[in-house]
């Protein structure tokens, strides 16, 4: 489970960086390709835009756990192109100020990304699956670091006051973003039964779970027995598990068994289980102390983003920007696309 999350995180990082790939020496740019946008002597190719759009769309649909409605696709395309233009303008400004990214810094970033994959082969396979080359990724990282360092040079000294943190806390609290459900630290042993299995398989699983419970009751450590006999591919230990995350039979046991006790064997669609709970936390609203640091980071980022947006918008007046591809004009589509692009609304 953890490896899957790491892979997803690494891929998201790679895709986000690829939204800003405009480097002129990319091997993915072929002579004579159609141009999506001209910015003075710079350009964004149609192929770059389409690759960025597909990457952003894939991430968005994964975050939404579903497809974006067809009527919102046009607005989403427009939003992605505008983000590419902003990024390109920021790169132009950074180059004018002499911001450079040494090759060793790019190498270091690639090493960090590779470290989130189980092997070099998995990393290469992910690039191939997404239709990316290593050179493409290097240019993405270069552009990303260029913009980051330019932003840092323009936003040093940004401060957030305690009053701003408190105001944002009250805003989040009022919107329900800081509500936390009742949760439990739970560990379970599963004797798995395959879908469609016969009664004999269910009986064998029940015998297995009864034997495991007997070992625990005789004094063996629950987690030791779990590691030896459980069929849960996720490991079986789930700290801070909130309500409404597990199947109903599991949840009932998780919030009814005495802390430190071992449940009676119970049945779910996955097989037979026993569980134990080491701690529970009541639901409620997160305290200011719990989230103050995250709120400070968020407000700081908002302030820096505003400064950069203003710089980029001002710079656009001095750059001849020509959009050479057709984009939707329907404002409703654009508004829907921006709504769709905010899956983390309410996060800190």
Sheet strand arrangement including 35-39: 42-45, 35-39, 321-323
**Are the CB atoms for 269 and 177 separated by under 8 Å?**
no
Cα distance between residue 169 and residue 176, in whole Å: 11
Q: Give the chain's radius of gyration (CA, Å).
A: 26
> Residues 157, 37: contact at Cβ < 8 Å?
no
Residue count (the chain): 348
At CA 50, angle to CA 45 and CA 55, rounded to 5? 130
Whole-angstrom distance, CA of residue 57 vs CA of residue 17: 14
Burial class (CB in 10 A: 0-12, 13-18, 19+), 140: buried
pLDDT at 32: 54
pLDDT reported for residue 30: 47
Q: What is the pLDDT of residue 336?
A: 46
- Give the domain ranges of the chain: 2-159+292-340, 179-284
Q: Which fold has domain 179-284?
A: Chitinase A; domain 3 (3.10.50)
Which CATH number fits the domain 2-159+292-340, given the four candidates 3.30.470.20, 3.30.200.20, 2.40.37.10, 1.10.4030.10? 1.10.4030.10
pLDDT digits (tens, 9 = 90+) for 284-307: 999 999 999 999 999 999 999 999
User: In whole angstroms, what is the distance from residue 264 CA to residue 113 CA?
Assistant: 45
Residue 282 burial class via C-beta count within 10 angstroms: exposed 0-12, middle 13-18, buried 19 and up: exposed
CB 119 within 8 A of CB 11: no
Residues of the chain with pLDDT under 70: 1-32, 328-348
Helix (H) / strand (E) element for 279: namely: strand 271-281
Specify the pLDDT at position 329: 56
Task: Please state, in angstroms and rounded to a whole number, the distance separating the CA atoms of residues 227 and 216.
Answer: 12
* CA–CA separation, 136 and 144 (whole Å): 12
Give residue 346's pLDDT.
36
DSSP-assigned letters across all residues of 282-302 = --EE--HHHHHHHHHHHHHHH
The pLDDT of residue 162 is 97
Map residue 317 onto helix, strand or coil: coil
HSE-CB at 84 with a 13 A cutoff on CA atoms is 33
pTM to 2 decimal places: 0.63
pLDDT at 64: 78
pLDDT of residue 41: 86
What does the pLDDT read at residue 345?
Answer: 36
Q: 211: number of CA atoms within 13 Å, CB side?
A: 10
CB burial of residue 32 (10 Å; 0-12, 13-18, 19+) = exposed
């Amino acid at each position: 489970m953890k490896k899957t999350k790491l892979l997803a995180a690494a891929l998201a990082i790679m895709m986000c960086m690829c939204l800003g790939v405009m480097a002129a020496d990319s091997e993915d740019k072929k002579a004579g390709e159609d141009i999506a946008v001209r910015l003075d002597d710079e350009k964004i190719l149609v192929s770059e835009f389409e690759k960025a759009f597909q990457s952003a769309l894939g991430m968005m649909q994964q975050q939404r756990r579903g497809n974006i409605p067809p009527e919102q696709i046009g607005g989403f395309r427009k939003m992605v192109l505008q983000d590419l233009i902003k990024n390109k303008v920021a790169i132009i400004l950074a180059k004018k100020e002499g911001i450079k990214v040494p090759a060793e810094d790019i190498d270091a970033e690639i090493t960090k990304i590779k470290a989130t994959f189980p092997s070099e082969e998995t990393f290469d396979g992910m690039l191939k699956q997404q239709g990316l080359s290593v050179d493409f990724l290097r240019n993405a990282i270069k552009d990303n670091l260029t913009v980051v360092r330019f932003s840092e040079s323009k936003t040093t000294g940004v401060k957030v006051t305690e009053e701003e943190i408190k105001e944002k806390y009250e805003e989040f609290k009022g919107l329900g973003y800081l509500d936390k459900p009742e949760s439990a630290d739970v560990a379970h042993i599963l004797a798995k039964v395959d879908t469609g299995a016969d009664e004999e398989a269910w009986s064998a699983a029940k015998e297995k779970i009864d034997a495991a419970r007997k070992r625990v009751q005789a004094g063996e450590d629950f987690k030791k027995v779990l590691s030896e006999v459980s069929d849960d591919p996720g490991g079986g230990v789930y700290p801070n598990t909130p309500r409404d995350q597990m199947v109903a039979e599991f949840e009932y046991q998780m919030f009814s068994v005495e802390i430190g006790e071992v449940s009676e064997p119970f049945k779910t669609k996955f097989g037979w289980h026993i569980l134990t709970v080491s701690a529970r936390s009541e639901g409620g609203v997160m305290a200011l102390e719990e989230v103050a640091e995250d709120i400070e980071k968020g407000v700081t980022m908002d302030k820096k983003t505003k400064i950069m947006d203003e710089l980029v918008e001002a710079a656009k007046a001095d750059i001849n920007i020509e959009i050479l591809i057709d984009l939707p004009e329907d404002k409703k589509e654009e508004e829907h696309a921006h709504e769709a692009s905010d899956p983390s609304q309410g996060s800190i």
